[in-house]
Amino acid sequence: MSITLGASILAADWSRMGAELEELESAGIDYIHWDVMDNRYVPNLTFGWDMIAACRKHTTVPFEVHLMAHETERDLAKYVAAGCERVLVQPEAHVHVHNALRVIREEGAEAGIALNPGTPLSMVEDLLPDITTLLVMTVNPGFGGQAFIETMLPKIEAARALVAERAPHVTVEVDGGLKPGNVAAAVSAGARAVVCGSGLFGPEGKAAAIAAMKSGIASGIVTA
């Protein structure tokens, strides 16, 4: 079983973003996760497609963007053109979320859905044929450094069961408050991709932090 580890770049030093990406790749990260926030859907404002495009040349690992933003349809092509191989949207933020998923696919990227802690899994059931990634948020979106919500573990288990039954092509991803001490529980519950943010940018260094996360992931695979 292969579990991929992504780095949420939200926690990086933005003044040296290119170097941060290069260091993450050298340290063994599997992909980069960009949290785009519009200060409307969530009370925070981060970066857009121009920043992502400027950073694309600094690493060869895949880019995934999570759009925490309202009505993103007109901008989706820009994120794909900026170098994002996978684009995740929030279903609550779109009047016609099917249209957003269609545009992402037509632009040549993989499409995904992100579910907030308070959003029921049933909201994604009719969208499964149109996506490759189902992101279960284990914190409320908007800010990094939040604590993992342990009551989301049953939701991860339910997501795993749902995709196993109806959409085995879909990867269950988990993002929010994940650390070496709790990532095994998320993997055991069904996560097949894991996003880590602030935990990768501590004083111990990226290589040590990534190694610790991958060790925790391996522990979860054993108990899965």
Q: What is the pLDDT of residues 32-42, one digit of tens each?
A: 999 999 998 88
Domain count, the chain: 1
Q: What is the pLDDT of residues 7-49, one digit of tens each?
A: 999 999 999 999 999 999 999 999 999 999 999 888 889 999 9
In this predicted structure, the answer to whether residue 103 has a pLDDT above a threshold of 90 is yes
- The pair of structure tokens assigned to 174 is 């988990």
Among 30, 38, 130, 175, which one carries the catalytic annotation? 175
Would residue 75 show up in a list of annotated catalytic residues for this protein?
A: no
**Domain range enclosing 43:** 4-223
pLDDT at residue 1, as a whole number: 78
Would residue 175 show up in a list of annotated catalytic residues for this protein?
A: yes
Among 13, 30, 35, 50, which one carries the catalytic annotation? 35
- The pair of structure tokens assigned to 101 is 């998923």
Q: CB within 8 A of 209, min separation 6: which ones?
A: 27, 196, 199, 200, 201, 202
Give me the CATH number covering residue 178. Answer: 3.20.20.70
Q: What is the pTM of this model?
A: 0.96
